[in-house]
Amino acid sequence: MSDACTQDASTTVVYTGTRRPSFSDPTLRIHHLPMLEVAAVDFDRKKVKILVRQPCTLVFYSTNSVKVVADSGVLDDIDLRHHTAWAVGEKTAATVRERLGIDASVPDDERFDGLVATFRQSPPSSPIIAFALKESPRDLARRLGRTDVHEVPVYHTCAKLYPRLRDELAEVDADWIAFTSPRGVRTFLSQASHVDLDAYKFAAIGPTTGDAMNEAGIEPALVMETPDKDLMMQKILQL
């Protein structure tokens, strides 16, 4: 847990994503309270190495997937210039450039649905390797109706528990609680039976997370159109 704040801060946001925003402002205090922890999973490295012997379309759904793949070393001796890369979101594309040294295209709609729409309009000519979250509901092969889509789960998330959640929220005098995934919403609510939810405003990183909040009975005051945590902090200050 960490704070980014100044003595003049007038808005306190509890940020529940795995990596805290880098945005800062004199009127903003960010209290990082991640609901999920990220861990790499044992994936079939031999299969990936065989697949990338021919030109492929590499898909990264998140910065977590890029970092796990880079740390695994599975692409270290591969000339990635022969492959095409796509990333869901500019942040993920920036991480691809930083960690893998190649440029990744980003769909105009920086969400999974935007990637699906882009691939339907301009289908990749090469097989697709999608580095994914384990047990993710995303199913690119089914959505595209293709048999050459290889989903490779490379990481998973597990719930992080806070026995003093209500006290922690009270101690930081939070105004907003920001969520970045449906599972983060569920993890928070599983520990929030004694939390007065009416005392806070809620923000969602995107429509899918916003839908999860609505289904759980929490009305988000802010739903981002694109998954940008720094922009989300800026938008909160405008409300």
Identify the structural domains of the chain with CATH numbers, from first to last: 2-35+160-238 (3.40.50.10090), 40-157 (3.40.50.10090)
82/105 Cα distance (integer angstroms): 15
Interval 59-90: pLDDT, tens? 999 999 999 999 999 999 999 989 999 999 89
Sign of the CA dihedral running 217, 223, 26, 98: positive
Other CB atoms within a 10 A radius of the CB of residue 198 amount to 5
Interval 19-46: pLDDT, tens? 899 999 999 999 999 999 999 999 999 9
201/122 Cα distance (integer angstroms): 40
Interval 91-147: pLDDT, tens? 899 999 999 999 999 999 988 999 999 999 999 999 999 999 998 888 999 999 999
pTM of the model: 0.80
Question: Strand 36-40 and strand 149-159: pairing?
Answer: antiparallel
